[in-house]
């Protein structure tokens, strides 16, 4: 807290080599208990939103739009929940690592395209397709955190296709 006060008051002499994001990250550290609580709350909100969206899928006319919005919000909340455990900067850096970059890009593009298909293009089939792609990209992204999980999935699918 003292470091944040020094930086905000302009009394920090070595602020040339520390960028503003690192300063904010250092000043906003949370205790482990708070991080776990934030993770659980965001994750539960994400799961509830996704399940509720799936339940509302079958409503006439508006069901697919509610599904797309709630499912996308659920995925964003679930992704944000991991930021509580690692911290936002570390999470963003890990999302952009070589092994996860492709899955991250596909996941974020599908999040945006789902909302475009539901609201802008008003195409239910595309919205559903992008939700499925969201799920697959999010699963592939999540598997990247488990050692050798992606390799195991690839081996299972190649074995099944033979």
Domain that holds residue 16: 1-30
| Shared domain check, 76 and 92 | yes
**pTM here?**
0.76
| Shared domain check, 89 and 18 | no
DSSP state of 119: I
Angle at 106 between CA 121 and CA 140, to 5 degrees: 130
Residue 105's Cβ-count burial label (10 Å; 0-12, 13-18, 19+) is: middle
pLDDT tens readout for residues 47-95: 999 999 999 988 888 898 999 999 999 999 999 999 988 888 889 999 9
pLDDT tens readout for residues 118-145: 999 989 899 999 999 999 999 999 999 9
| Shared domain check, 42 and 5 | no
| Shared domain check, 109 and 95 | yes
Q: How many structural domains compose the chain?
A: 2
Angle at 81 between CA 75 and CA 86, to 5 degrees: 130
The CA–CA distances, whole Å, from 15 to 22, 23, 41, 48, 100 equal 11, 9, 35, 43, 32
Residue 114's Cβ-count burial label (10 Å; 0-12, 13-18, 19+) is: buried
């Amino acid at each position: 807290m003292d470091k944040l006060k020094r930086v905000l008051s302009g009394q920090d002499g070595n602020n040339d080599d520390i960028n503003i994001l690192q300063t904010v990250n250092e000043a906003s550290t949370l205790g482990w208990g708070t991080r776990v609580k934030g993770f659980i709350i965001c994750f539960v909100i994400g799961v509830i939103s996704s399940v509720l969206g799936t339940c509302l899928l079958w409503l006439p006319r508006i069901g697919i739009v509610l599904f797309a919005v709630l499912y996308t919000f659920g995925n964003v909340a679930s992704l944000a929940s991991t930021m509580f455990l690692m911290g936002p900067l570390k999470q963003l850096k890990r999302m952009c690592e070589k092994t996860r970059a492709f899955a991250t890009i596909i996941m974020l593009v599908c999040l945006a395209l789902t909302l475009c298909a539901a609201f802008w293009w008003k195409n239910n089939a595309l919205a559903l397709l992008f939700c499925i792609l969201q799920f697959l990209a999010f699963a592939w992204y999540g598997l990247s955190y488990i050692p050798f999980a992606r390799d195991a999935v690839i081996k299972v699918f190649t074995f099944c296709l033979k």
